[in-house]
């Protein structure tokens, strides 16, 4: 059976990145490390070429491509968090390991990969049949850096932020 697996490009630190990513959330693990069988653009014989891993059950591949490549916002990885505690834990882990905050729940990890750290309840708010409530939640989100479930809920419910 075919499977779509995103491949992330790194310059010699694919294994470090994969180890960090699997530390973020449950149901994450490194499943295979492929080493270079000979010297080449991606490294010396025996160095890491490819790391296969999962984050929250999603298969990913990290490739040591042999040169630095820049990531853009054209693609990002989203972590659906169960609650504010998980949002805080994941967010703080990224920052503690060289990440940079952006806005609306987005940040960049130390390798430049764009991530969205989003509480699952945000999707419930945005898909609500109450369009005014959904719009209030969206407007609240647009003012945030790290997403705050309580503030989003109050906005959704039409309650002041007091």
pLDDT in tens, 80-109: 999 999 999 999 999 999 999 999 999 999
Q: What is the pLDDT of residue 57?
A: 93
Mean per-residue pLDDT, 16-33: 97
Confidence band, pLDDT 50/70/90 cuts, at residue 1: low
In the CATH hierarchy, which fold is given to the domain comprising 1-67? 2,3-Dihydroxybiphenyl 1,2-Dioxygenase; domain 1 (3.10.180)
CATH assignment, 70-162: 3.10.180.10
> What's the Cα-to-Cα distance from 101 to each of 70, 74, 76, 85, rounded to whole Å?
17, 17, 14, 18
From-to residues of CATH 3.10.180.10 in the chain = 1-67, 70-162
Angle, in degrees to the nearest 10, between helices 131-142 and 149-157: 140
Residues 6+ apart with CB under 8 A from 107: 91, 94, 95, 99, 100, 101, 114, 115, 117
Q: Dihedral, CA atoms, 141, 143, 148, 151, nearest 10 degrees?
A: -90
């Amino acid at each position: 059976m075919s499977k779509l697996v995103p491949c992330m490009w790194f310059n010699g630190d694919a294994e470090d990145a994969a180890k960090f990513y699997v530390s973020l959330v449950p149901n994450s693990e490194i499943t295979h490390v492929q080493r270079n069988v000979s010297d080449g653009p991606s490294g010396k014989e025996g160095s890491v070429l490819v790391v296969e891993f999962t984050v929250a059950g999603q298969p990913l591949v990290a490739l040591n491509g042999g040169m630095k490549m820049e990531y853009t916002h054209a693609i990002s990885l989203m972590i659906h968090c169960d609650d504010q505690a998980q949002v805080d834990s994941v967010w703080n882990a990224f920052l503690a390991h060289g990440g940079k905050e952006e806005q609306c729940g987005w940040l960049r990890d130390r390798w430049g990969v764009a991530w969205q750290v989003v509480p699952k309840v945000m999707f419930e708010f945005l898909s609500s049949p109450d369009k005014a409530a959904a719009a209030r939640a969206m407007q609240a989100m647009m003012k945030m850096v790290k997403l705050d479930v309580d503030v989003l809920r109050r906005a959704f419910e039409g309650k002041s932020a007091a």
